[in-house]
Amino acid sequence: MFIALHEIRRAWVRFALVVTAIGLLVFLILFQQTLQSGLITSFVGAIEHQSSPVLVYSVDGLCNLEGSVILPDVEQDVRSVDGVGVAGRIGQGTFSVRAGGQTTSAAIVGFEDPRVGAPTTLVSGRMAAADGEAVALESSADEGFGLGDTVRVEPGGLELRIVGQASEIGLHASPTLFTTYGTLEEVLASSNPAARGLAPAAIGVIPEGGVSDAQLVERIDRAVPDAEALTRADAVTSTPGVAQIQQSFRLIFLLYGLVIPLVTGMFFLILTLQKAQSLTLLRAVGASAGYLIWSLLIQVVTVMVLGIGLAVAMYTPLSSRRLGGLPLTFQTGAVVFWAVALLVLGILSALVSMRRVLRIQPIEAITGAGVTA
């Protein structure tokens, strides 16, 4: 350990450069992870953070609230399926609203029963209970959707009062409101007087006691051919565009995950080759191969820990800000996962250097053979 730390102090510039390189690469991974989470949440957070464990779409709705329409006979069939405990209509639409002195588009979700379809991440205020009340996306507060603000639907002039705010309930990357189903019907009538009622986009369902979410999904799909039931988690991942986002980011993570151990492995391999004579001399004066490998491991762990620490230090202040209209959040799970994974990969990347150390023979100090491949 003494030799390992002494070498780091003696060649601190060299080690500082590799720590900085690893730190920047890990920072990019963490930032991309947060960006992916923010993108998905802004598109389908309203689905992920609503109270219904099972959502039922029309079979031709492509698992999308915007494109799904539940007809009355389909709704009746869903409600009559054995194992359905609570069922409620969920409607959705995108409307022009006047908020904060500006006109913008907002996604409005209406729930018939707070137990199935209401937001679950309320951070301030209360749930919308009466007509004309709404819960708004917290990150849109500075755009005129703050607690106590009034949002006016255009055209028509119907006013919605913000009585609560919830986090991570975005839909279609736009300001999002949750309100009662009756209020959503009023919004539709105000913006489009020619509209003939509001058909639900989905039916939120809670299974009876003793029936799991997956079992209820199977029963509904089997009993109602014109409906497609999904658990909440499956509804999130099945939404068009989510899988493509995840696939793109997985490729980015894979590339970064390969580059970091490659950088670490090449650094210590070159370092081992450069100090081949010193290592041979240490072996000749009695240093064991295990001692030299242990010193190498200490250096690898030190470099990786300092690099990851630098990355987290850069990532933390940026993870709680907004990128354009995209709210970012600190991803604790991602930090822990990548820290452990990259530390293990960094150690594994030094195996080639360890192999070279093991090949050193004390006699080479006399013959001058040095470390061979």
Span 128-144, pLDDT tens digits = 988 889 999 988 888 88
pLDDT greater than 80 at residue 278: no
What gap in Å lies between CA 259 and CA 323, rounded to an integer? 26
Residue 163 makes CB contacts below 8 A (sequence gap 6+) with 125, 126, 127, 128, 133, 134, 135, 147
pLDDT band at 317 (very low <50, low <70, confident <90, very high): confident
- Amino acid code (one letter) for 255: L
Check residue 5 and give its pLDDT.
66
CB atoms within 10 A of CB 222: 10
Parallel, antiparallel, or unpaired for β 122-125 and 322-323? unpaired
Of 7-11, 55-59, 97-101, 178-182, give the lowest mean pLDDT range. 7-11
| Cα angle, residue 280 at apex, residues 354 and 304 outer, rounded to 5° | 35
Strands 102-111 and 326-327, bridge-based pairing: unpaired
Q: How confident is the model at residue 348 (pLDDT cuts 50, 70, 90)?
A: confident
pLDDT tens digits, 210-236 = 889 999 999 999 999 998 999 999 888
In this predicted structure, what is the pLDDT of residue 61? 76
97 φ, ψ (degrees, to nearest 5): -135, 155
Average pLDDT over every residue of 149-169: 89
How far is residue 371's CA from residue 373's CA, in Å, rounded to a whole number? Answer: 7
Q: What is the pTM of this model?
A: 0.74
The β-bridge partners of 322 are: 327
Name, in order, each residue with C-beta under 8 angstroms of 346's C-beta and a sequence gap of 6 or more: 22, 260, 261, 264, 300, 301, 303, 304
Check if the beta carbon of residue 88 is closer than 8 Å to that of residue 116.
yes
- β-pair partners for 96: 105, 154
Dist CA 29 CA 259 (whole Å)? 11
d(CA 317, CA 359): 46
